[in-house]
Structure 1
Amino acid sequence: MNDRPAPTARRAPFRLAIVGGGPRATYVLERLSADAAGPGREGRLEVRVYERTGEFGAGQAHSPTQPATSFLNRIAGQVSFAADESMPGAGPLRPRAGRPTLHEWCRRRFAETGEPDFDLGPEDWPKRYVHGLALQDSFTAYVRELRAHGVPVHLCPDEVVDVSRQDEGFELRTAAGQRHRADHVLLVTGHGPHDPERSPAGRERAAFARRTRATYLPSAYPLASTLSPTVTGPGTVVGCAGMGLTAIDVVLHLTEGRGGRFVPDDRHGLRYVPSGREPSSLVAFSDAGMFTFARPHHAKEQGAGPGAGIREHQGVFFTREAVDRLRASVGTAPAGTAPAAAAPAQLDFDRDVLPLVVLEMAQLHHATLFRPAARFLAERSAAVWRDFLDGARTAAGPPDDPERLLGPLRAAVDEIGAVLERVLAGKEAPATAAARVREWPVGATLAHWTGVVFGDDARDRLREAGNDPAALQRAAAAWRSPWQLDESPTGNRFSWHRTIAPVPRSAYATPGQYRAALLRAMATDRVWARQGNTANPHKAAADGVWRDLRSVLSYAVDDAGLTASSHRAFLARHTRHHNRLANGAAVEVMTRIEALARHGLLDLTTGPGATVETDDTEGRFRVTGPATGAVHLVDTLVDARIHAFDPRLDSAPLFRRLTERGLVRLWRNESADGTSFEPGGLDLTAGFHPVGADGAAEPGLTVLGPAAEGRRSFLLSALRPDRDHYVMRDVINWLDEFRELTAHQEERECGR
């Protein structure tokens, strides 16, 4: 007699479709593979990943095939590929050796290959293709693990062009005509270029290029095929619309990537030696008229220098609590009758939030110079700050002045500067000044300021001079700042206007004068960046506020936190400030850009406010700089900007078709005054499920990444270790819901 139980029907696995096979797909598979190792998981899941480029793990933007002239704008020690202990509720974690940072991955690969591009320290800036290799390697490992745990993973090198709702689940249709069913669809498509035919300016430029000998390239990527020598070779003038990270990729690909060389230069760091295969000229232009600022040397959490032991900046004045107080005192009710928790009182960024940002920057700037006196500086600003939060605006400066809260801080800085200046001039002994001044430590502040401005050797000479005024005066007279900082204690004052516009309008009247002034500003910025993000006051203020406090910026802006008109202005103006101040390229990269400009191959004479017109007489694009008077005729115009997600303009059809089907709709910021603003991102629930045309959420779809921009901000980022980073936090939150979905399906099937 056979005592074995009768076999039961095998449950159909839950079918997950991941649309987009780039970095976010890699992070998703990392969590899925860790989760699949649990008891009873085998056979419960089937995964299908779609990536139109076929470059699984990296996608086009992070492709390992991209030119070696493109650099990541994150140091190797700040990139990772797996969840870690900083992420509550992440679930099973890999052993520490199984979740290397990019730096650790590179060290292993360097030991295996000896390839110099892998020979990186934790603070070094990797080439972007190296990041792509590491992403692909991680993706492949996670797929292998999933399959080993009995989870089928299908890799589809095809583009999903449509998703439709079925009686049970969804049907996905690809560009190749394939149709697949799924129970849940995760859309992590990343950034795609805009279709030039979907905007008036794009249509005009494309039509002009078709009827003339000019060339219009609406997207720069992939660089190797798009920027072919046929349209960017010797004898051509290439116009580069944009001066951000994409433009830097374009410029370096068309110069160093064409065989040019950078050689050491004692005065400027590098000098460019052309190969003869470059375009005759590269005209870079943008509304601001300048490239992003150099990312500073990362010194936080390190153990040397004036910034030793400093961690990421924690806000003094610009905090979530401060934003909440502003909403309570001066915020305006949003449109509709949604609960306050879902629809906070709206603020005006320039009127309400920017003064706090500027105050925080000024505080950090001067605390970097006078760190032992930081509390004294903060206490001086406390009263005007509290009054501002409570809605009393008359005590501050004019309502349109971003610096209107800085008066008390500036007075305190003047007091410190005057005391230190007397001591360094030999007019007062340090001990006498210390006995007279009780609110802040004179000796420690003087020593710190000396180290920041002049370096450790000067601080040693200061210590040797002791309390002797004459010896101090002699020592100070010989000091010179290696960091191009003002050498007077009353100098180095913070200025918001100078920070965002280091080349004032008064500094130039001709194209040549603008070029010279911009090169001086770039050289100074390069030196400041080498000093680092804890020792240089300018870089500390930018990095500490616009990078370390980015989550507070998001807290103020996201979920209709600003009025519709202010939200529009924020995206048009202040995201550019963020990108220039805190999201630029490494100093090593910007030294190359500066060298190309000094050589003359890279033309920077256009200045701010550049315009592009079509010139039928010349058959070329005309780029004009109204502030400098520069005029350039351009053979090939490259749009070297990353545009915000907008399905109405996207070159890919997927989200347009989802909109037409009513599965998704655009998110709209609506204000009580009747104004509204659609940034382009989708309307999503807190769990990133799209809200359809009927106002109902679709739990079977989840959208992460750029398509969620609009309601949220600053969504483009590589995973960072030890930070409970939002990129993995979003994945973890999705996985929690995903487990519930699979459990519910099992319950339904067991009940049949």
Structure 2
Amino acid sequence: MISMEGAEVAVIGGGPRGTSVLERLIAHRKAFAGPQDPLTIHIVDPFDPGPGHVWRTDQSRLFLMNTPSLFPTVVPVGEAAAEVPTSPVPVGFDSWRRLAASGGVEGLTPEETAEAARVGSAGFPSRALYGRYLAWVYAALTADPGEGVTVIHHRREALSLRRAGARWELQLDGGEVLGVDGVVLALGHLPARLNPEQGVLQDGAARFGLQYWPPAVPGDLDWKRLPAGKNVLVRGLGLNFFDVMIQLTQGRGGRFTDDGSGRLTYTPSGREPVLIAASRRGVPYRAKAAITSYIPRGISLSYCTVETLGAFAEAGIQPGFDHDVWPLLHRDVLAAYYRTLARVRPDAFLRPADAALEELRTALDIAGPGWLPALQEFLDRNVPEELQLNVEALAQPFAGRRFADSAALTEAVLEYLDEDAAGSARGEDDPLKMAIGAMNAGRTVIKQVVADGGLTDSGWYAELRGWFEPLVEGLASGPPPLRIAQLAALVRADLVRFVGPNPQFVLDPDDGVFRASSPWVGDPGFTAGYLVEAMMPANQVSTSLSVLMRQMLEEGVVRPRLRMVEDGVPVVSAGLDVTLPPYRPLSGTGEAQPGLYVCGLQLASVQWGTAIAAEAGASLNAGARTLLDADAIAEALIASFRDSPDLQTADSRA
């Protein structure tokens, strides 16, 4: 029963997505002109609402976002703002940053104001500064949530959620129990069980007195526990690696300076450990290009578009990824590369560049598999072999190469880093960076089209998530360009070394140390008493250590989604089993849970790229999908309360 005092909603998780849900609840309520009963919104999060856990404002300012200031927002702005009820706080991050730089945001420290002014729209802000924006949005929302609306933050962890008649009963640590009419799970990153290999390493570390650091949010860790001068094995060369790298070098007093050649040099403080870095590819994610937009302005997709991919559904076809989707994006990636090459190096072609591009266009326009032989003919006639782009090979830049020893490997990695940094500096004049820009643009389109069953299960699991996701993550989700230049400087200073591709991590019981080696490098590898997993906890509901998630799964409040791969074997997906939007989780018996909704990372079973923030200015259906989800949930909740016979009875009694 809805109480006489009106409706109550609990949003579990007060980070960016929980804040978006709160903002949309307030916006929808304010947009309704008729009389409304009181509404209480409970925000349940042990961390400060707005920033939540990952975007805490007290974390190191050396931890940077991997998107420029112009990209993220937590509320609808630009094109998205015209599609939904008006936001009570219509300010994206970059607009807030400019306001902060001018001194228009109260409560900022001089350091924060200076960063807001220095970073610019195309720069990469600290995660702490983005956290300040999120906190500001939350404060603005709660300062004036509208007549009859009360927002209460419970600095508690949610322990259990159960159905109690027509309502939900939410138990918090400390003993408090909330009875609410609607619940939104905006849980964000959750702790997760280690995989078997990680478990063995952790157990061995405990036996031999070593330090094993499992996957974690970088801002949670006490980096002072890693001693100077010692080898530290670091597994993972993605975004978390750069947090480890910078915290243990510049964070310990070292200095990067420009040596005048376009490269950086590093002056150690003497307090750094030696980082031994490893990943499957053997090299870090590629850096973002130095451009003034998120997608290069020169990129325009011709083949992988919403219209072309949407045609499958219109024809009643559920496409596969390899057969139907990738060939379209592959064409756009190749077109971006060779058009840029023709623009910046027309003499690189074996024939006149204009004629070559016309032949390329003809090849790419061929429908069906016939385009691949035509492409090969184009390459043979027009492009020197060393300039031909093999997109799939970018996932394994050292594939098939053997290295005599770690010194030879280091030389190869350093060449790779210097080339990548130079390519980033060239921006839209670099063919490879433009090809990656096209892939990133296509990723946004694919995210939109494959959601909610828009791709076959085998296409989703074995193809999109199996090989394409690692490829596009390593190419298009990399760090700011500065980080690659800094890494190269640290390699020259002999403070970062590399294990090599396909590394093997074991615990050596004879010597009581961790050992890391690569089958592609001739020497025996490296040993250390410290091993850091440079990655976030796995986003997999079935392995979550969250007390709340485990309770909901065990009691059948929710269930993970199963996908059927080609051999008919069911595979447990990363996310929850949910209805179509607005996403309501299915119970253990397959029934949609009334008044319960999911927003964010736990939608990984039906959406791809759930960790990517909403893009300022993008439409809700494209780059601002998280705002679309929050809006649909808020609209459904507000409508259900307005139409509830319980509320109408309460109105008549009043």
Instruction: Map Cα deviations across residues 443-466 of structure 1 (whole Å, 9 max, x no partner).
Output: xxxxxxxxxxxxxxxxxxxxxxxx
**SS of residue paired to 1:153:** strand
**SS of residue paired to 2:614:** coil
Query: 1:666, CA displacement in angstroms?
Result: 1.0
2:222 alignment counterpart: 227
Whether the 8 Å CA contact 1:195–1:218 is kept in 2: the answer is: no
1:318 alignment counterpart: 304
Query: 1:598, CA displacement in angstroms?
Result: 1.9
Residues 17-56 of structure 1 aligned to structure 2 (within 5 Å): 17-38=10-31, 39-40=33-34, 43-52=37-46, 54-56=47-49
Query: 1:245, CA displacement in angstroms?
Result: 0.5
2:205 alignment counterpart: 209
CA distance in 1, matches of 2:3, 2:497: 67
Cα gap change, 1:560/1:229 in structure 2, threshold over 3 Å: closer, same or farther?
same
Residues 152-551 of structure 1 aligned to structure 2 (within 5 Å): 152-196=150-194, 199-223=195-219, 226-230=221-225, 232-267=226-261, 269-279=263-273, 281-300=274-293, 310=297, 313-323=299-309, 345-347=318-320, 349-370=321-342, 373=354, 376-377=358-359, 379-382=361-364, 384=366, 386-388=367-369, 395=370, 406-410=375-379, 414-415=381-382, 492-506=387-401, 508-532=403-427, 534-551=428-445
State how many pairs are aligned. 624
Query: 1:739, CA displacement in angstroms?
Result: 2.0
Query: 1:290, CA displacement in angstroms?
Result: 1.1
Whether the 8 Å CA contact 1:359–1:405 is kept in 2: the answer is: no
Query: 1:135, CA displacement in angstroms?
Result: 0.8
CA distance in 2, matches of 1:10, 1:493: 68
Cα gap change, 1:175/1:621 in structure 2, threshold over 3 Å: closer, same or farther?
farther
Query: 1:492, CA displacement in angstroms?
Result: 3.6
Q: Which has the higher contact order (CA 8 A, sep 6+)?
A: 2
1:471 alignment counterpart: none
Alignment gaps of 5+ in structure 2: 104-108, 344-352
Whether the 8 Å CA contact 2:77–2:91 is kept in 1: the answer is: no
2:69 alignment counterpart: 76
Alignment gaps of 5+ in structure 1: 1-8, 330-339, 389-394, 398-403, 418-488
1:703 alignment counterpart: 598
CA distance in 1, matches of 2:516, 2:594: 48
1:582 alignment counterpart: 476
Cα gap change, 1:80/1:553 in structure 2, threshold over 3 Å: closer, same or farther?
closer
Query: 1:106, CA displacement in angstroms?
Result: 2.3
Instruction: Map Cα deviations across residues 497-518 of structure 1 (whole Å, 9 max, x no partner).
Output: 5533334534733221121111
1:730 alignment counterpart: 629
CA distance in 2, matches of 1:49, 1:62: 17
CA distance in 1, matches of 2:608, 2:374: 26
1:633 alignment counterpart: 527
Query: 1:350, CA displacement in angstroms?
Result: 3.7
1:450 alignment counterpart: none
**SS of residue paired to 2:542:** coil
Find out whether 1:101 has 2:70 as its counterpart.
no
User: Structure 1: which amino acid aligns with 2:368?
Assistant: D
Whether the 8 Å CA contact 1:547–1:582 is kept in 2: the answer is: no
Find out whether 1:137 has 2:139 as its counterpart.
no
User: Structure 2: which amino acid aligns with 1:31?
Assistant: R
Query: 1:111, CA displacement in angstroms?
Result: 2.9
Find out whether 1:620 has 2:504 as its counterpart.
no
Query: 1:396, CA displacement in angstroms?
Result: 5.9
Cα gap change, 1:10/1:318 in structure 2, threshold over 3 Å: closer, same or farther?
closer
CA distance in 2, matches of 1:510, 1:41: 75
Query: 1:48, CA displacement in angstroms?
Result: 0.5
Query: 1:569, CA displacement in angstroms?
Result: 4.8
The partner residue of 2:489 within 589, 595, 600 is 595
Whether the 8 Å CA contact 2:576–2:603 is kept in 1: the answer is: yes
Cα gap change, 1:345/1:15 in structure 2, threshold over 3 Å: closer, same or farther?
same
Whether the 8 Å CA contact 1:328–1:345 is kept in 2: the answer is: no
CA distance in 2, matches of 1:741, 1:552: 32
Instruction: Map Cα deviations across residues 383-417 of structure 1 (whole Å, 9 max, x no partner).
Output: 53x133xxxxxx466xxxxxx66325436xx45x7
Cα gap change, 1:361/1:557 in structure 2, threshold over 3 Å: closer, same or farther?
farther
How high is the sequence identity, in percent, across the aligned residues? 23
Whether the 8 Å CA contact 1:81–1:99 is kept in 2: the answer is: no
Find out whether 1:740 has 2:639 as its counterpart.
yes
**SS of residue paired to 2:640:** helix
1:118 alignment counterpart: 116
Query: 1:143, CA displacement in angstroms?
Result: 1.2
Cα gap change, 1:696/1:498 in structure 2, threshold over 3 Å: closer, same or farther?
closer
1:650 alignment counterpart: 544
Cα gap change, 1:323/1:42 in structure 2, threshold over 3 Å: closer, same or farther?
closer
Query: 1:137, CA displacement in angstroms?
Result: 1.2
**SS of residue paired to 1:613:** strand
CA distance in 1, matches of 2:554, 2:43: 24
CA distance in 1, matches of 2:3, 2:390: 69
User: Structure 2: which amino acid aligns with 1:366?
Assistant: Y
CA distance in 1, matches of 2:567, 2:223: 50
Cα gap change, 1:375/1:736 in structure 2, threshold over 3 Å: closer, same or farther?
farther
User: How does the TM-score come out when normalised to structure 2?
Assistant: 0.88
Specify the structure having the higher radius of gyration (Cα).
Answer: 1
